[in-house]
Chain A
């Protein structure tokens, strides 16, 4: 086979991949930027007009959009500190049990809910907060605390935010859990042993040995949570629709609403571009970290 012929074959094998990337990733990426400069809504759907930076300027002056970033930040901080803390704790305690059957049992049992469809979990929590027959109000009733009962997802910003945040309690199950468990299991037992001989308490060993050695995993999952969490809005869409008012509105949901509820495709695209710039910054920062580590 001639060399040119051979190359043609190889490029032909790569064609499907690049066809998909070109049509469904590259083209929409370029389009997202172009659309963000258009005045494009339902009334002029067939004839969008060029609007320059108008969409961006409007967004920066939009109080709902601005507050959505504060709300997003609260969710992200919660996810990074509490959710990660829970999976680190769960993984650490299972690893503490050593190589026993019980540890294996816990590992498998905590993995099971991961394969539950996400919507099933969300619906359970929706039911949990439901005002009429929901579990939370029911339990408060059993405890004689009827006056504590609330429309949890709609009462106030505080109850709505906390309700969404508490979803998934106790947050052990998940990808982070698997990553941390693998991390803890890779730690050489002799390191802990050495600290023990030096008279360090279990608590001290956890802070000085275990936690230090899983820092790369913590960094990895933090970045994953940041990048994923910035884009995530289905919990808010399903549970509160961003309400009450705009009290749980995150940028992703605001983008979704602008594009698909209000039909403002230009404004929606501009929000998409802004979120892209943020996640790109986070990704590049992460790559810099990774390189420094090596």
Chain B
């Protein structure tokens, strides 16, 4: 019994060590955001004794635009993905029509097309459509590829809604849209949230595509904006880490309320992909 208790303590100590290294970058980012370059050089790891808030204010003025751009891109994508996929998934789950399974197989087959194959032609396409430096240049391709997994997950979910429930609404004279909006959507709310969060995270974090299509200073998303933040000539570390801190806040706040749904979404999406 004693040895089991001993190994338990070892495990806990070891996990705390792993956790320390995992969370250390966040601590360091936060404290360095309030230090001048001189303070960093004399007090590298510690708390800033006289915190300087001017870096946060300076970074906020720059990063505000980036955050707004990212919000437009991620928000637009999530709304689009959820709208388009819920409609298709519902049709696939509840109705029979010619070519149904063939059409569904076609959709599934596009899950095997990797983003790297379509990167260059998509860029040429978006250029020819005159969408460069418009948020649509990111939103539309994101919807196209983001919807596939979501349709798959939604279809499974919609199929599991008992037929008796939908029938009872129809008996009361409810039309198909009424069934969809009054019954199906409220039931599907948690899975909407899960899939929405996963989509927000992936679009918010994407780097290569916005680097290519949203290159104008006023259109930069947070990821690309931060990248440009690093002026290699004269790095003001306080500004850099302030920018990183501010860029982290929106998702942190969002996910702190919705962690459960996010974890569900990540795992279900991965298992089904």
A108 touching B259 in the complex, CB below 8 Å, given contacts A10-B91, A17-B107:
yes
Q: Which of B85, B106, B144, B262 contacts A24, CB < 8 Å?
A: B144
Bound CA–CA A69/B37 (angstroms): 41
By the criterion CB–CB under 8 Å, are B112 and A175 in contact? no
Q: Is A123 an interface residue (CB 8 A)?
A: yes
Q: Is B95 an interface residue (CB 8 A)?
A: yes
By the criterion CB–CB under 8 Å, are B207 and A119 in contact? yes
Query: Shortest CB–CB separation between residue A95 and chain B, in angstroms?
Result: 10
Query: Shortest CB–CB separation between residue A97 and chain B, in angstroms?
Result: 7
The residue in chain B whose Cβ has the minimal distance to the Cβ of A115 is B255
Q: Which of A17, A29, A94, A127 contacts B147, CB < 8 Å?
A: A17
Residues on A with C-beta less than 8 A from B21 are 169-170
By the criterion CB–CB under 8 Å, are B117 and A276 in contact? yes
Residues on B with C-beta less than 8 A from A178 are 263, 266-267
Bound CA–CA A108/B207 (angstroms): 26
Bound CA–CA A6/B176 (angstroms): 11
Bound CA–CA A108/B118 (angstroms): 36
Q: Is B2 an interface residue (CB 8 A)?
A: no
Bound CA–CA A113/B240 (angstroms): 19
Bound CA–CA A102/B114 (angstroms): 40
By the criterion CB–CB under 8 Å, are B147 and A20 in contact? yes
Query: Shortest CB–CB separation between residue A267 and chain B, in angstroms?
Result: 10
Q: Is B53 an interface residue (CB 8 A)?
A: no
By the criterion CB–CB under 8 Å, are B144 and A276 in contact? no
Q: Which of B12, B84, B119, B124 contacts A20, CB < 8 Å?
A: B84
Would you call the interface of chain B mostly helix, strand, loop, or mixed? Answer: helix
By the criterion CB–CB under 8 Å, are B201 and A115 in contact? yes
Contact with A along B11-26 (1 / 0, CB 8 A): 1101100110111011
The residue in chain A whose Cβ has the minimal distance to the Cβ of B246 is A120
By the criterion CB–CB under 8 Å, are B222 and A119 in contact? yes
Complex interface residues of chain B between 113 and 144 (CB less than 8 A to chain A): 113-125, 140-141, 143-144
Would you call the interface of chain A mostly helix, strand, loop, or mixed? Answer: helix
Bound CA–CA A126/B15 (angstroms): 26
Bound CA–CA A247/B64 (angstroms): 37
Q: Which of B97, B107, B208, B267 contacts A179, CB < 8 Å?
A: B267
Bound CA–CA A126/B84 (angstroms): 39
Residues on A with C-beta less than 8 A from B57 are none
Complex interface residues of chain B between 170 and 195 (CB less than 8 A to chain A): none
What are 27 pairs between A and B in contact, CB < 8 Å?
A10-B95, A14-B87, A14-B88, A16-B87, A20-B140, A21-B144, A21-B148, A24-B125, A24-B145, A31-B124, A32-B120, A32-B121, A106-B15, A115-B252, A115-B255, A116-B252, A117-B222, A119-B205, A119-B227, A133-B37, A133-B41, A178-B267, A230-B116, A231-B115, A234-B207, A256-B119, A272-B118
Chain A interface (Cβ < 8 Å from any Cβ of B): 6-7, 10-11, 13-14, 16-18, 20-21, 23-29, 31-32, 35, 90, 93-94, 96-97, 102, 106, 108-121, 123-127, 133, 135, 138, 169-170, 172-173, 175, 178-179, 182, 202, 220, 224, 227, 230-231, 233-234, 237-238, 252, 255-256, 259-260, 265, 268-269, 272-273, 275-276, 279-280, 283
Given contacts A17-B147, A117-B248, A224-B270, 15 further A-B contacts (CB under 8 A): A10-B95, A13-B88, A17-B84, A17-B87, A28-B125, A29-B117, A90-B18, A112-B23, A112-B252, A113-B25, A119-B222, A119-B247, A169-B21, A175-B266, A179-B271
